[in-house]
């Protein structure tokens, strides 16, 4: 199998129901992360770095920011005449989480794609990988399905699907809603299979009125050759506000940043041209990620700050995530706060969360 024989399909609203503060007006895929990126940047970059040149992004609602971010796909080299990136329009159905119904409604799009294989991906899983090895092992094993997993502890508010496999990677059992503590082989929701088999499985599930995607895959173990592929390196599965906060704070670790943002497999994003960050004479910045276009006059420690943020003189901000174009007024004191886009804090505001329960301030709020 060659990478140009693979169609990428991304579910844009993964775990949206457990991160409603962030996904009320946007898809999971377009949630800002790490100061200058969106969650989908990692998924798209992994595909394009693996020479997957045709990608469909399945949307439901709140997808305007996603469309603005993706644009023509040029940032990921997906602006092409005969392939590229397509944001698939919203659809009606029982629930967006029902992947079987979703894929059934997209049958025409999948059939018309020129690729013979389909790689399905979630949008809330952060890692940096070249899928070439996955494609190779899928071919060598003559697998019908290859599931992507990571041995890790289940993240917050996430009921894992656990894979058990033999010493050559063939899946023997899939456990749904497994509650065993400690590390386990957690399926990351990604898999590769032939287009023909995917459509066959979807048609069978619809005819049986069985709409659980994970149970459909669970049943394939007895009928098909199903293998497992473990993602190398660091993997973060963002399934809650706490996991979102923890991941952003973990980027202070230089070793993790070097692994995730490997120059040999770069993470691409939409470029916004801003002036360099400007620091005032009264500013103090420690152990923080600060994006371009910011104006820092106050004190900042252990923060992830997006583009265009202004922190006024006398303000103290620690352990916070501040999204783009927000303003922190003079004398504010903020700690353990997730501040969405275009938020304004008037002068003298004090707001304190805790590490286990950071406070979220909604987009375009004015705090006075």
Reading the block at residue 154, the tokens are 């289940």
Query: Are residues 179 and 38 part of one domain?
Result: yes
What does the pLDDT look like over 194-210, one tens digit per residue? 999 999 999 999 999 88
Residue written as tokens 């609602």?
61
Asked whether 120 and 57 are in contact (CB, 8 A), the reply is no
**Rounded distance, CA 207 to CA 260, Å?**
42
Cα–Cα distance, 320 to 278 (Å, whole number) = 19
**298 and 249 belong to one structural domain:** no
CB proximity list for 5: less than 8 A, separation 6 or greater: 115, 116, 117
User: What 3-state DSSP class applies to 213?
Assistant: helix
Enter the tokens of residue 63. Answer: 């997808």
Same domain for 283 and 202: no
- Statement to judge: residues 235 and 332 lie in one domain: no
Q: What angle do CA 77, 122, 7 make, to 5 degrees?
A: 50
Residues 143 and 250 placed together within one structural domain of the fold: yes
pLDDT digits (tens, 9 = 90+) for 310-344: 999 999 999 999 999 999 999 999 999 999 999 99
Rounded Cα distance, 74 and 76, in Å: 5
pLDDT tens figures, 106-152: 999 999 999 999 999 999 999 999 999 999 999 999 999 999 999 99
Rounded-to-integer distance, Cα 44 and Cα 150, Å: 19
pLDDT digits (tens, 9 = 90+) for 173-186: 999 977 767 899 99
Asked if residue 26 and residue 173 are part of one domain, the reply reads yes
> Residue 268 falls within a domain, yes or no?
no
Domain, as residue range, for 311: 278-367
Collapsing DSSP to helix, strand or coil, 241 comes out as helix
My answer on whether 103 and 213 are in the same domain is yes
Same domain, 320 and 229: no
Does the pLDDT of residue 3 top 70, yes or no? no
């Amino acid at each position: 199998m060659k990478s140009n024989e693979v169609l990428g399909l991304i579910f844009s609203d993964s775990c949206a129901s457990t991160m409603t503060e962030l996904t009320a007006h946007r898809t999971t895929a377009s949630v800002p992360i790490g100061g200058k990126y969106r969650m989908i940047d990692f998924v798209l970059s992994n595909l394009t770095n693996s020479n997957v040149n045709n990608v469909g992004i399945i949307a439901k609602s709140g997808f305007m920011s996603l469309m603005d971010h993706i644009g023509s796909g040029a940032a990921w080299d997906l602006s092409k005449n005969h392939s590229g990136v397509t944001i698939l329009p919203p659809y009606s159905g029982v629930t967006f989480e029902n992947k079987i119904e979703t894929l059934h409604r997209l049958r025409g799009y999948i059939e018309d794609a020129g690729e013979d294989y389909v790689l399905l991906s979630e949008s809330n899983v952060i890692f940096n990988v070249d899928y070439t090895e996955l494609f190779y092992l899928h071919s060598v094993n003559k697998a019908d399905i290859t599931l992507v997993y990571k041995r890790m502890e289940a993240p917050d508010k996430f009921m894992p699907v656990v894979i058990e496999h033999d010493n050559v990677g063939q899946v023997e059992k899939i456990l749904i809603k497994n509650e065993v503590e400690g590390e386990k082989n957690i399926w990351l929701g990604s898999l590769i299979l032939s287009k023909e088999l995917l459509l066959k499985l979807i048609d069978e599930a619809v005819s049986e009125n069985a709409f659980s995607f994970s149970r459909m895959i669970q049943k394939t173990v007895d009928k098909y050759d199903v293998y497992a592929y473990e993602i190398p390196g660091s993997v973060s599965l963002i399934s809650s506000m706490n996991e979102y906060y923890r991941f952003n704070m973990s980027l202070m670790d230089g070793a993790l940043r070097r692994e995730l943002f490997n120059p040999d497999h770069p993470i691409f994003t939409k470029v916004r041209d801003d002036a360099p960050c400007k620091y005032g004479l009264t500013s103090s910045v420690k152990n923080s990620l600060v994006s371009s276009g910011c104006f820092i006059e106050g004190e900042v420690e252990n923060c992830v700050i997006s583009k265009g943020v202004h922190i006024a003189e006398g303000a103290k901000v620690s352990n916070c995530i501040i999204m783009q174009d927000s303003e922190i007024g003079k004398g504010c004191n903020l700690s353990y706060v997730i501040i969405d886009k275009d938020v304004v804090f008037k002068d003298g505001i004090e707001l304190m969360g805790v590490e286990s329960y950071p406070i979220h301030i909604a987009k375009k709020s004015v705090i006075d």
